[in-house]
Amino acid sequence: MPEKKGAVPAGDVTQRVGVEVIRARGVDVEKLIKMLIANAAAEFASTYYYYTILRMHLAGYEDYKEICEDARLEDRAHWELIVPRIYELGGELPNDLPAFHNQAGCVAAKLPDPPTVVNILTVLLESERCAIRSWIAICDMTCGKDPRTYDMASRILNEEIEHEAWFIELLAHERDGKTIPSGHFRRGTPGEAPYSKNAHFYNP
Ligand SMILES: [Fe+2]
Ligand SMILES: [Fe+2]
């Protein structure tokens, strides 16, 4: 599908060839921006607020806290990976934090009552499952049409799938006394985010 040369006039800064080429391949760009903002809001709320609180209430379970910290910091990497893409597509973050929070694609992961370790692990597990569903929806929408968004979403998805496996392992052990290995190898450093952090490019 060759693009019409010159569809965006030379020097025009109001249009983006990077957007027009994916629109021409069938991406509903406005819908994609909305979905990315919803996912960004979920990652933002998760890493900076809910996971922080949930992790702090795992007192005495230092091994669980370590796994939770990897998941928390990797959500931060997801946030930082995806926000620039929203702007590249011509979108922007809502200029109002409560409004931004309210359009999150996943329900707020509140501290459960009572905040037992089993209840906290259950919240964490379901939060990862919501993230998997949200990111695979972006993959479905962009596969074969928008390689850049697809690449980012699929890298995030890789880690969300790992996070689900981690929390299945911990919850099965803690609640049911069952062993369901996640196949987890320790990250090199906390929050390494091997797929989603552009450590070799520009993220310190
Ligand atoms: Fe995430
Ligand atoms: Fe996650």
Claim: this prediction has a pTM higher than 0.75: yes
Q: How far is CA 100 from the centre of its chain?
A: 15
Cα of 74 vs centre of ligand 1, distance in Å, is 6
Cα of 204 vs centre of ligand 2, distance in Å, is 20
Rounded to the nearest 10 degrees, the angle between the axes of helix 29-45 and helix 117-142 is: 160
Cα of 3 vs centre of ligand 1, distance in Å, is 35
Cα of 12 vs centre of ligand 2, distance in Å, is 39
Cα of 181 vs centre of ligand 2, distance in Å, is 18
Cα of 2 vs centre of ligand 1, distance in Å, is 36
Other C-beta atoms lying within 10 Å of the C-beta of residue 102:
11
Nearest to 45 by CA among 67, 72, 70, 64: 72
Cα of 73 vs centre of ligand 2, distance in Å, is 9
Cα of 19 vs centre of ligand 1, distance in Å, is 25
Rounded to the nearest 10 degrees, the angle between the axes of helix 62-88 and helix 117-142 is: 30
DSSP the chain: -PPPTTSS-TT--SS-HHHHHHHHTT--HHHHHHHHHHHHHHHHHIIIIIHHHHHHT-TT-HHHHHHHHHHHHHHHHHHHHHHHHHHHTT----S-HHHHHHT-SS---PPPSS--HHHHHHHHHHHHHHHHHHHHHHHHHHTTT-HHHHHHHHHHHHHHHHHHHHHHHHHHHHHH-----------SSTT--TTT--TTTT--
How far is 87 from 105, CA to CA, in rounded Å? 19
Q: How far is CA 17 from the centre of its chain?
A: 26
Residue 123's pLDDT is 96
Residue 204's pLDDT is 43
Cα of 60 vs centre of ligand 2, distance in Å, is 22
Cα of 91 vs centre of ligand 2, distance in Å, is 24
Query: Would you give per-residue pLDDT tens digits along the chain (204 residues)?
Result: 555 666 899 999 999 999 999 999 999 999 999 999 999 999 999 888 888 899 999 999 999 999 999 999 999 999 999 999 999 999 999 999 999 999 999 988 889 999 999 999 999 999 999 999 999 999 999 999 999 999 999 999 999 999 999 999 999 999 999 999 999 887 777 778 888 875 554 444
Which residues are CB-neighbours of 160 under 8 A, at least 6 positions away?
128, 131, 132, 135
Cα of 197 vs centre of ligand 2, distance in Å, is 13
Judge contact between 181 and 169, C-beta under 8 A: yes
Cα of 39 vs centre of ligand 2, distance in Å, is 11
Pick the ligand that lies closest to the CA of residue 40. Answer: 1
